[in-house]
Chain A
């Protein structure tokens, strides 16, 4: 038998570097990201404020009917679709596809300025499930940063795509997990969180020196402090899961990295109500399903809030943007959780409010909006869950893509998912050798909510109070990100493959266009040579979208799960 877990990768494609554009990338630094200039999209979440909003208004509610495709780009090899959020600076669009293929494109024409295809360990990738998609790159100091499924972080020259450094951060051969989430750049540091959740490990978040690629610190989301260690009975921290698989943001006022963490493993516990002393992982399981504030320079934990103590439902906090708001002199951070609730914090992550975005929630009766305490939680024992299905479904009431806050309307546009699941809880033993295996802890199946049909919805709400202004419904939950603009528009790329534009004030549909395949990635707006563009990734497939064909049939039956395109729109 071949010793596959030592095999270091087939020769794949050598990075092609080619400089053909006159577009000169100026340095992206922390001050520039803070300023969030209207022509650019400088981080995964747009800027540190995480609004997913563009101040551009050339394309607006009056002329959106004239929107059409300006150019397209096919990244190739889009296994499990195209899931990334492009970024843009100085008229150059950067984005990544599956296998961490990175492209720099002329934002006006789509001309390829450079591309870089890292050589990955294909034998390892064949053994991973949440792979080989990549959700985005980060910009900073004239570099483009990207993580890989085999546990590395790359620093590429933003002008040429040349590899400036490469750092192995995690032993993916052993732990199976790697990096799919975009990194975050702040003050000379690149932050990236590993996958975790259902994988028996300790879900580290790393900081790396942007200039040298040297590792600065590592924070273990599972039992990363002495206090946290006490919240994992029977040494269960050894296989606790965790991780921080989506990028958070940076608060320069306190020099803090804000990050959301994944669920503990196994996802479903058999503890019953005595979860503090019984079951797979007795205790609260810190710092899983939490939002954490880490000192940028040291990686020390400054503050945290565990959104779901002893998460027994896989409703982690790794999903969800950190929307930085100010209202009546008060500063807030708004963070959606996969369970379908939206948490409102102050800048030190103290709970200010909690409101539900979705209707079908029954893993708890409610969450105390003053304290964040879970009220009436459902903790299962071994066997079939009989009284009612668990809501939401494992895909979440809120998925990992981002909503959008529009400072002009004061509304937060966010997608919610109404679906549930049947569940049969079983005891499992974590498998860590020779290579970590998934640890789910139940057999399950998607099910309609007790109240009726499965559906998805775009809500326009007050981000602090949750008050709803309008809602648009979809027969199957859309899974992509949302964009809103100063042109009074909200864009929603849906699962069937239609890109919709709505009036930001009232939700009236003003325009739509088919991108030819389902969406489950990012959408941004930027300006190149004085012209506004909307860029969206299309390409379906992966851990949630693979559920669509068997459950919804229709267009999903023939929809590819290994294809994708970047589609860029402008006015005719």
Chain B
């Protein structure tokens, strides 16, 4: 390699302001569990529903989650570690207790009225 410019470009200030730096993250690696404000429906509408259609009620890029035959451990594991080229891993974004809430949500899924 002749010359290697590895400087990280100036980040948008606002994003930095609301983000942990890499070093800070290393000191406190577990994202603060915020289970009170955590809203699984919102998580689906924001992130999961992009692939799991109708809030998990129908197949899309990802399979239907309503009535899934998978056991809780499988579901937890899939959400944590994802699957290469299919589903992203969420172990950094979601805490164990949040993932438990997602499992509860998936188990309670019913077809939408109307």
Contacts and interface: CB of A to CB of B under 8 A. Distances in A.
Interface in A152-190: 163-171, 173-175
Contacts of B5: 165-168, 212-215
Mostly, the A contact residues are loop
A441 B3 contact: no
A129 B50 contact: yes
Interface residues of B, number: 53
B42 A127 contact: no
Contact of B46 (A5, A440, A445): A440
Nearest to A125: B84
Interface stretch (A55-63, A106-114, A332-340, A541-549): A541-549
A201 B12 contact: yes
B14 to A, nearest CB: 4
B45 A433 contact: no
B88 A126 contact: yes
Residue among A79, A171, A424 with max Cβ neighbours from chain B (10 Å): A171
A206 B19 CA distance: 22
Interface size class of A (residues with CB under 8 A): 35 or more
Given A3-B25, A443-B44, A445-B60, A434 B92 contact: yes
B15 A3 contact: no
Interface stretch (B51-59, B70-78, B100-108): B51-59
Contact of A218 (B9, B31, B50, B93): B9
A2 B2 CA distance: 33
B31 A434 contact: yes
CB-CB nearest 3 A-B residue pairs: A426-B45, A546-B61, A79-B85
B22 to A, nearest CB: 5
Given A79-B84, A432-B15, A443-B49, A426 B26 contact: no
Contacts of B46: 266, 428-429, 431, 437-441
Given A214-B5, A426-B41, A434-B20, A220 B12 contact: yes
A127 B82 contact: yes
A442 interface: yes
Given A1-B91, A445-B60, 4 more contacts: A6-B25, A167-B6, A214-B5, A446-B53
B89 interface: yes
A547 B60 contact: yes
Contact of B45 (A80, A206, A218, A442): A442
Interface in A1-33: 1-6
Nearest to A211: B3
B50 A175 contact: no
Contacts of B86: 546, 561
Contacts of B112: 384, 424
Nearest to B81: A126
A520 B54 CA distance: 26
Residue among A127, A175, A443, A546 with max Cβ neighbours from chain B (10 Å): A443
Interface string A190-213: 000000001001101010000011
A561 B62 CA distance: 13
Contacts of A251: none
